[in-house]
């Protein structure tokens, strides 16, 4: 049985009141903010029963208002990158603001992570909804979007839905940063990761996929068998993992699949992720540099967390061979992601 409660958490100038919703099952406790549909915390047990918060975040609302790293946030209208912020839909060109070098990232300068969402209780959780107006951040169509976070036992489910008045690209995900040793632990090098992907997307020097779908076999991106993250990071070019792993082929039917498993051997904590999305971005917090002070005043440094951002493939609106990311009037966007927290 999951207990659901909420309380006012603060005020955002110009946006209004922000509430914090708490979902409590016998095994897991989750805190959700109406700002950005943010997952503020997930507390779960280790193998000896000790509870730890395993999600990076902030002690106060101001941290989230000024946050530039999307800690815990729902990101959209389009998660990940769109090359040069440019795309063409139904013969019409659209230009978005660029906020990640030459590219558009995570919905723009004022994406869904900066909106205050409406919230209502549902069985075992909360449903948050938001209306993105036609032209918001440069995107076409009025978009009615919702996410429900429900907790059942050890499993937190995120159920995303949306409808649009015009054809628009859409790609929603949650951008929680996890450290199964407990948020504030120095790094994730002792975590073991596996990702159920036969292929991944190589990227250019601005992190845009090149268009190639490359098999993981005989590359550092072969995570089909569990490997220590610290050992594998030494073999990955660049700063670390920030790549889309392909969970299915571009035209495969909608179905929920196992995506990833991460184990922290010292505590025994396990996170398993399943999703109906065709990809997952595995990101190892490469650009955290100690300048962000998180919960308890902890400085979040490089490789202090990992993200498993279930998603469509990045820049899909500009790659005809990638899974279709367009939502058309009369259709419903619908995806499900489940995070299950257990121990070994």
Annotated binding residues for beta-D-galactose: 80-81, 175-177, 242
Dist. CA 335–CA 106, nearest whole Å: 17
H helices present in the chain, as ranges: 61-66, 229-233
Q: Residue 241: name the closest of 340, 166, 309, 317 by CA.
A: 309
Dist. CA 337–CA 159, nearest whole Å: 7
State the catalytic residue, choosing from 106, 130, 309, 335: 309
Identify whether 191 is a catalytic site residue: no
Q: Which residues contact 218 (CB under 8 A, 6 or more apart)?
A: none
Q: Which two tokens stand for residue 152?
A: 């059942």
Identify whether 243 is a catalytic site residue: no
Pairing of strands 269-275, 92-95: unpaired
Q: What angle do CA 285, 49, 40 make, to 5 degrees?
A: 40
State the catalytic residue, choosing from 31, 106, 130, 175: 175
Instruction: List, in sequence order, every residue forming a beta bridge with 334; answer none if it has no partner.
Output: 161
Measured CA to CA in angstroms, residue 152 lies from 101, 173, 258, 271 at distances of 40, 20, 18, 15
Instruction: Tally the residues of the chain.
Output: 344
What string of DSSP letters covers 295-309?
GGG-EE-TTS-BEEE
Supply the residues annotated as catalytic: 175, 309
């Amino acid at each position: 049985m999951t207990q659901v409660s909420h309380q006012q958490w603060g005020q955002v100038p110009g946006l209004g009141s922000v509430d914090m919703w708490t979902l409590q099952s016998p095994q897991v406790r989750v805190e959700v903010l109406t700002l950005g549909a943010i997952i503020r915390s997930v507390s779960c047990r280790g193998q000896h029963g000790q509870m730890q918060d395993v999600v990076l975040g902030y002690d106060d609302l101001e941290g989230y208002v000024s946050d530039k790293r999307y800690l815990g946030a729902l990101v959209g209208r389009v998660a990940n990158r769109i090359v040069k912020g440019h795309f063409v839909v139904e013969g019409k060109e659209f230009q978005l603001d660029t906020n990640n070098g030459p590219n558009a990232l995570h919905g723009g300068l004022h994406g869904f992570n900066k909106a205050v969402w409406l919230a209502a209780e549902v069985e075992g959780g909360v449903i948050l909804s938001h209306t993105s107006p036609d032209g918001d951040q440069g995107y076409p169509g009025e978009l009615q979007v919702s996410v429900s976070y429900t907790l059942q036992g050890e499993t937190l489910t995120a159920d995303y839905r949306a409808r649009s008045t015009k054809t628009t690209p859409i790609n929603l995900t949650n951008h929680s940063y996890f450290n199964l040793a407990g948020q504030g632990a120095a790094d994730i090098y002792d975590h073991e990761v596996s990702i159920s992907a036969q292929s991944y997307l190589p990227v250019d020097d601005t992190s845009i996929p090149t268009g190639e779908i490359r098999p993981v076999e005989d590359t550092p991106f072969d995570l089909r068998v569990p490997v220590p993250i610290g050992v594998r990071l030494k073999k990955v070019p660049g700063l670390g993992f920030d790549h889309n792993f392909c969970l299915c082929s571009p035209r495969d039917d909608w179905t929920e699949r196992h995506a990833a498993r991460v184990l922290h051997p010292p505590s025994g904590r396990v996170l398993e992720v399943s999703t109906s999305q065709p990809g997952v971005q595995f990101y190892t917090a490469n650009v955290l540099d100690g300048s962000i002070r998180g919960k308890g005043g902890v400085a979040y440094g490089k490789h202090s967390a990992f993200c498993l951002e279930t998603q469509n493939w990045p820049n899909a609106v500009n790659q005809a061979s990638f899974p279709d990311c367009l939502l058309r009037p009369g259709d419903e966007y619908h995806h499900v992601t489940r995070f299950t927290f257990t121990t070994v």
